[in-house]
Amino acid sequence: MLPTHDRTATVALRGSTVHFDADPFVFGDDALRYESDSLIILEGGKIRAVGSYASLRDQIPSEAIRHYPNSLILPGFIDTHVHYPQTQMIGAYGAQLIDWLNEYTFVSEQQFADPDHASAVSRLFLNECLRVGTTTAMVYCTVHPESVDAFFEAAHDFDMRMIAGKVLMDRNAPAELRDTAQGGYDDSRVLMDKWHGKNRLLYAVTPRFAPTSTPEQLEAASALWKLRPDAYMQTHLSENLAELDWVAQLFPERKDYFDVYEHYGLAGPRAVFGHSIHLSEREWQRLAETDSSIAHCPTSNGFLGSGLFNFQRAKQAVAPASPVRTGMATDVGAGTSLSMLQTMGQAYKIGQLGGYSLSAAKALYLATKGAAHALHLEDKIGSIEAGMEADLVVLDLKSTPLIDFRMKYCNDIHEALFIQMTLADDRATQAVYVNGRQAYAGQAQDANVHAMS
């Protein structure tokens, strides 16, 4: 953390900016808005004004302006599906999903009954999010209430907008990680009452996935969500073919995997389903009709060989098909990086393998405004507009010698973004602003940031 100024103070950022005023999947890449010399005035944790530098320079003292040349200012990245306890096992060799869960995930997660361990990993995870420019995430904790308290306490200290919840599992998991339908409900209710809506924190009812919850627990999860319909529900859907077979065996009376969740009242606005790879047309349509959301996890899907996400169907806006709210996600630790730039690059490769060419504009949309839309937070985050929460990332466009060289042959902003999402990493993060306060400064800051005089 790098608290360089009080968020109640007024400060302005000058530099090139990119954000969206519409969905590029619907309106094309022209939905991206690029300004070569913008001024963003931050005050009270919000964006007070944004426009050209020439038009706004007289509204703020020159000494309050921070200039970022050779950089690009973006909305803070939004990760719609990630497991903070799996940070300690990122990069673990895996065969397929179920084997990987049993061999690594369930072993690691047992350590989060220890509040000190949970606190240490929470703070490391949030620091790593800032290092890569992620300012909001939808996070899975573990079955232990201590893991949730530790995460929310850390996120509160970091002043970040975070969504998280206690995992619910009452079967098909080690005894040390199982709760009960009633116990999981009771623990989750206490946590939801304690944390949902506190500062910038939001709670998510979190059944891990259908195979690890009994029908009784899924009913309890639905009852819990109904207590606070402005809260969230997160789980996994159709990640792996063997998983689909397992779900069909456990719930033979249901039409398909999504019907399990819908039957138990776990679909609707602010329900976010991780992966969603192997879906029938009926499931796609019901996701759209219930206004549920999808979190696309490209590095994880490639790492575990789970399958190829169907971008064309997810964002299809031509009748009779309907688009589904979709956001980008890292899914660490099956995902191999918390970097949204690297995740966008992997999403392009997943798209190519599936016959869909994902442009840089579309990939960036899924990591910013599109992700905010998937989380029903587009009125608060994901855009650079007056009144929005001041969560911003500044990217150094020349963060490595190779990228510096490559950028000399760059023709426009679309190519520049594609270069960044295919070649850049955490070294590109020059600065991060959270709720109007500078929370991170990269190594390039001293050389590239200049106070205006």
**Residues of the chain above pLDDT 90, percent:** 88
Q: Which residue has the higher pLDDT, 63 or 104?
A: 63
Grade residue 6 by pLDDT with cuts at 50, 70 and 90: low
Instruction: Indicate if the pLDDT at residue 284 is higher than 50.
Output: yes
Domains in the chain with CATH codes = 11-76+385-451 (2.30.40.10), 77-374 (3.20.20.140)
Q: Band of the pLDDT at 4, cuts 50, 70, 90?
A: very low
- Rounded CA separation 248/262 (Å): 15
Bond from prior residue into 320 cis (ω within 30 degrees of 0):
yes
pLDDT band with cut points at 50, 70 and 90 for residue 447:
very low
Going by pLDDT thresholds of 50, 70 and 90, the confidence category of residue 333 is: confident
Does 293 score more than 90 pLDDT?
yes
pLDDT beyond 50 at 446: no
pLDDT (0 to 100) of residue 382: 98
Tokens of 27: 């309106």
pLDDT digit string (tens) for 92-125?
886 777 787 878 888 889 999 999 999 999 999 9
pLDDT at residue 314, rounded to an integer: 96
pLDDT tens readout for residues 234-283: 999 999 999 999 999 999 999 999 999 999 999 999 999 999 999 999 99
Residue at token pair 């994902």: 358
**Residue 206 · residue 231 · CB < 8 Å:** no
Rounded CA separation 376/136 (Å): 13
Q: Tell me what pLDDT residue 97 has.
A: 72
- The residues that bridge with 432 in the sheet, in sequence order, are 393, 440
Q: What is the pLDDT of residue 280?
A: 96
* Structure confidence at residue 174 (pLDDT): 93
Provide mean pLDDT across the span 415-437. 98
Mean pLDDT calculated for residue range 135-157: 98
| Residue 131 in this model has a pLDDT that exceeds 90 | yes
User: Is residue 452 over pLDDT 50?
Assistant: no
* pLDDT at residue 448, as a whole number: 38
pLDDT of 450 strictly over 70? no
Average pLDDT over residues 314-339: 91
Look at residue 8 in the predicted model and tell me its pLDDT: 64
Cα R_g (the chain), whole angstroms: 21
| 3: pLDDT strictly greater than 50 | no
Q: What is the mean pLDDT of the chain?
A: 94
- % of the chain exceeding 70 in pLDDT: 96
63 backbone dihedrals φ, ψ, rounded to 5°: -70, -15
**pLDDT above 70 for 7:** no
> Which tens digits make up the pLDDT trace of 208-244?
999 999 999 999 999 999 999 999 999 999 999 999 9
Cα torsion for 245, 248, 251, 255, to the nearest 10°?
Answer: 150
Collect all residues with Cβ–Cβ distance below 8 Å to 13 and sequence separation of at least 6: 39, 40, 42, 65, 66, 68, 73, 392, 394, 433
Question: Does residue 449 register a pLDDT over 70?
Answer: no
pLDDT of residue 444: 55
| 419: its two tokens | 């270069």
How far apart CA 358 and CA 376 sit, in angstroms, is: 23
